[in-house]
Amino acid sequence: MRLHALLASWCVLRAAIAQTTTDDTDPPAPTPTGVDSFANVTVYQPDDSATQLTYARTENLPNNTVLAAWNDPSQAADSIAVFRSTNSGFSWYSFGNATSSEPGRKLLQPSLLYVNQSFGGDSGVVLLAVNAVDDKSTNIEVYASYDQGESFELASEVVSAGPVGANSSTAVSNPFLLLQNNAVTMYYSTQQDPQHSQKIVQQTTADDFDSWDTAIDVVASQFHDDRPGMSTVAKLPNGQYVIAFEYGLLNSTTKAYSYPVYYKISPSAENAGTERTRQLVVDTGAQPYGAPFVTWTPLGGVNGTIVLSDSRSNSVFINQALGEGTWREVKTTAGRASAREVRVPNNDDTKLRFAGGAEYGQQSPSQILVTMMDFQKALAALEPRE
């Protein structure tokens, strides 16, 4: 009886194998195997050797695809270019652009966001927020792409304000987009409030891309001359958010501003105004400075690791206690850059991707460069905590 049972099972197995070999079905999708490390790959080099490129920003799309945009003074006044990589950032090519509906406005300070869920009846939409600037105004605008970043159309003008100028200006600047809890939140700096030289606010939309809630304060100092700005935000595994920004502090003697990096930890992406403001303190004594970019990676233990890049250091600064306590400094292979971005690629949590252009405070020519760092290896090389 046992022999007959074995023979019967074998026949069933052979039939199943034959059936699967004749079915016209797609093979299973390959499992991502990660990406190789590389240093300072050129995304774009301008024809004019005197052009200074800044404010590089990227976004992850499916299938190892990455988009990039940046500030380019030599670009057409009413347009911003979008480049694309289909191999996780190792090589790039010109792909699309957004054009202002108001001729003569320069599109600056880009923020890219891939909305990889259904939102307002659409899904798989690429958003591009910019500061559209002319001689008379600054305007936070959002453009939407329904073809993975090849073409963009104006979706909304979130806020319109005064022109760029001195402290008496009422300008807005530096938009940053975050997808959170089935909503899109826009953070930006504003000088519209006469009680503050500058503050950071946010507006949220949960229905579509052209209807935004009223602006709510995120960082607003009790001292008029303080100028917090250049905010970026990342979600933590406990559901809280880390909001990083430069904190413009006026020297009463020299009348010059310095821009140390501060941050907030908030249970809400939309109501962080009452959370305490914390200066970022590093174990090596380093002082992160200017236009930070913050992200989170699952590497580094149960809390993962908060990673912050500033504007004048090769290093990144990390925290593995959900933003509490002292931060640690980690050297990187990426060059220094003003408002340098750091992101985790979609297909390899062991890596960090950096994007940057000109160095902070330098007027020398520049290009847009991307570096992929083996962050797992860098963490393993750190001295253990006592």
Give domain status of residue 57, yes or no.
Answer: yes
Supply the pLDDT for residue 33. Answer: 54
Give domain status of residue 257, yes or no.
Answer: yes
Per residue in 207-218, pLDDT (tens digit) is: 888 899 999 999
CATH number for position 313: 2.120.10.10
Supply the pLDDT for residue 101. Answer: 85
- Whether the per-residue pLDDT at 22 is higher than 80: the answer is no
96 vs 356: CA distance, rounded Å: 20
Per residue in 134-149, pLDDT (tens digit) is: 999 999 999 999 999 9
Taking all residues of the chain, what is their mean pLDDT, rounded to a whole number? Answer: 90
Q: Is 0.85 topped by the overall pTM?
A: yes
Number of C-alpha atoms within 13 angstroms, CB side, residue 340? 33
For residue 319, give every residue at least 6 positions away whose Cβ sits within 8 Å of its Cβ, in sequence order, or none.
Answer: 305, 306, 308, 325, 327, 328
> Region 110-129: what's the mean pLDDT?
89
- Whether the per-residue pLDDT at 24 is higher than 60: the answer is no
For residue 385, give every residue at least 6 positions away whose Cβ sits within 8 Å of its Cβ, in sequence order, or none.
Answer: none
Give domain status of residue 386, yes or no.
Answer: no
> Region 62-75: what's the mean pLDDT?
93
* Number of Cβ within a 10 Å radius of residue 231: 28
Give domain status of residue 17, yes or no.
Answer: no
Residue with tokens 């800044």: 54
Supply the pLDDT for residue 168. Answer: 64
Supply the pLDDT for residue 147. Answer: 96
Give domain status of residue 7, yes or no.
Answer: no
Supply the pLDDT for residue 386. Answer: 58
CB 342 within 8 A of CB 330: no
Supply the pLDDT for residue 123. Answer: 80
Give domain status of residue 6, yes or no.
Answer: no
Q: What percent of the chain has pLDDT over 90?
A: 77
Q: How confident is the model at residue 167 (pLDDT cuts 50, 70, 90)?
A: low
When comparing pLDDT for 347 and 128, which is higher?
128
Give domain status of residue 74, yes or no.
Answer: yes
Q: Domain containing 272: what range?
A: 35-380
Supply the pLDDT for residue 9. Answer: 46
Give domain status of residue 13, yes or no.
Answer: no
Number of C-alpha atoms within 13 angstroms, CB side, residue 119? 24
Supply the pLDDT for residue 35. Answer: 84
Q: How confident is the model at residue 15 (pLDDT cuts 50, 70, 90)?
A: very low
Total structural domains within the chain? 1
